[in-house]
Amino acid sequence: MNFESFKKLVESTRSIRRFDESRRIGRDTLENLVELTRFCASGRNAQPLRYVLIDSEEECEQIFPLLKWAGYFKEWDGPEKGERPVAYLVQCIDTKYGADCLCDDGLQLEAITLGMTTLGLGGCIIKAFDHINLSKVLNLDKRYSPRYVLAIGYPVEKVVIEEMNGEENADFKYFRTPDGVHHVPKRPLKELILK
């Protein structure tokens, strides 16, 4: 893979919040995605992160109401029935190795979401969720603390990147147009480089 191909992969890996609920994802696919994390860098090489794989309709229905969707869409409670995720990966830290995973969580989630894009899947990394009830639903041992929930499915929404105008106070909030297209403003390169 050359740099331009990789750049296109990164550009096309967007947060997806609406899915084709009629298309299921097998456990083997979820396992293959989690396997990607084995090859990620790890602070202190402690490798403290673990994953709960959820692919059954019953478990998906239990987890969905525990999640908060799209903070900028105050009137939206998440995808409607028929457009909900068909699988989840719940990333947990094994506190036996400490309470801080340094940068491991983000590195692993990026590897997984890039892998998902190559398979035609989409997902949304969710940090806002009911930690206590999720741990109960998953029957997690107290040593495992959920950090993120990755909602997964086949995308049914279009997401486009918008160039921000580069002004210091430019609006960075994502938005949806009346046609249902999800727009994500991104800062220009010159704003990211200090010197």
Which tens digits make up the pLDDT trace of 157-187? 999 999 998 777 889 999 999 999 999 999 9
- Percentage of the residues of the chain whose pLDDT score is greater than 90: 95
* Burial class for 151, CB neighbours closer than 10 Å (0-12, 13-18, 19+): buried
Are residue 99 and residue 134 in the same domain, yes or no? yes
Does 173 lie in the same domain as 110? no
Are 110 and 167 within one domain? Answer: no
Mean pLDDT of the chain: 96
- Residue 130 domain boundaries: 3-157
Same domain, 177 and 93: no
The CATH number covering residue 28 comes to 3.40.109.10
Residue 28, pLDDT score: 98
Per the structure, how many domains does the chain have?
2
CB 63 within 8 A of CB 91: no
Q: What is the pLDDT of residues 4-27, one digit of tens each?
A: 999 999 999 999 999 999 999 999
Strands 49-54 and 175-176 turn out to be unpaired
Residue type, 91: Q
Q: In angstroms, what CA-CA distances link 85 with 55, 173, 183?
A: 9, 23, 20
Does 141 lie in the same domain as 180? no
Give the separation between CA 158 and CA 14, rounded to whole angstroms. Answer: 10
Residue 11 and residue 91 share a domain: yes
Q: Does 114 lie in the same domain as 173?
A: no
pLDDT surpasses 80 at 41: yes
97 and 31 in a common domain: yes
CATH, residue 177: 2.20.180.10
The span from the first CA to the last CA of the chain, in angstroms, equals 30
- 121 in the same domain as 168: no
pLDDT tens readout for residues 101-153: 999 999 999 999 999 999 999 999 999 999 999 999 999 999 999 999 999 99
Q: 70 and 166 in one domain?
A: no
Entry pTM: 0.96
